[in-house]
Amino acid sequence: MSLKAVLFDFNGVIIKDEPIHLQLIDEILVQENLQPQKLHERQACLGRSDRAYFQDLLKNRGRVVTEEYLIQLLTRKAEAYVLELEKQEKLPLYPGIEDLIFQVRSQNLKLGLVSGALHLEIELVLERAKLTEYFNVIVAGDDINTSKPQPEGYLLAVERFNQAYPDLNLQPQECLAIEDTPAGIQAAKRAQMQVVGVANTYPFHMLQRQANWTVDYLTDLELERVKEVFLQKNVKLTAPEC
């Protein structure tokens, strides 16, 4: 087994925008004459898609959730997100993201993104940051109906890699996910991937108990060492018995 692809989460790994999302969700709830988020709800939203989170929020407030109503709210929120980012002279990208992408490309690894954010939001950020061309596959929240910690997003990314590169024959065990929340880590592990937890959103010690590797910052990740671990596991699996 060798490392063939690295899959990034988006919110909390590439861009520091959780406060923006929480603010916009509260604004929409108030506009709908509903109570804003409570503290435990804000914590529960981290790592999950807007679709899944809005469904829970509305259900908890006794609001009937039709697909049409849900899509309307998601569209309003995505449009407000775009307007909010356009106000910012500089995007709040996490330090080290460009260097890590360079590491991935220099190792001839495929690069993908798996997120609960909508394509509209992801594409805006990647385009402004001039990172679009580096991501071979993107799975967004509007590609699937489930949310992390379910593994469907990661499994769909593997499928899309194999569709785009038939000779790659990518298996989930040959992927490394980079996540910042327990929900994201669980999703990647359920897809049979190894995971780096980066302590951008949760404390180091919380992620350390769940991820295969944990770093304080993206700049701390030594991709070459991770590749060696993948190869060592392959040697152990294929070594003849004495």
Q: State how far the Cα of 117 lies from the Cα of 209, in Å rounded to an integer.
A: 26
C-alpha to C-alpha distance for 229 and 242, rounded to whole angstroms: 23
Residues 163 and 202 in one domain: yes
The verdict on 9 and 22 lying in the same domain is: no
Model confidence at 237, in pLDDT bands (50, 70, 90)? very low
Residue 96 CB coordination number (10 Å)? 16
Residues 106 and 208 in one domain: yes
Co-location of 199 and 218 in the same domain: yes
pLDDT in tens, 45-77: 888 999 999 999 999 999 988 999 999 999 999
Tokens 């709830």 belong to 29
Cβ atoms of 5 and 174 closer than 8 Å = yes
CATH number at residue 147: 3.40.50.1000
Are 112 and 198 members of one domain?
yes
The per-residue pLDDT for 43 is 83
Structurally, how many domains does the chain consist of? 2
> Cα separations (Å) of 26 from 57, 59, 160?
10, 15, 35
pTM reported for the whole predicted model = 0.90
Q: Is the Cβ–Cβ distance between 192 and 158 less than 8 Å?
A: no
* Position 6 pLDDT exceeds 80: yes
The domain boundary, picked from 87, 115, 136, lies at 87
By residue count, the chain amounts to 242
**pLDDT, tens only, 183-195:** 999 999 999 999 9
Q: Are 141 and 120 in contact (CB under 8 A)?
A: no
Expressed as residue numbers, the domain containing 114 is 5-16+93-238
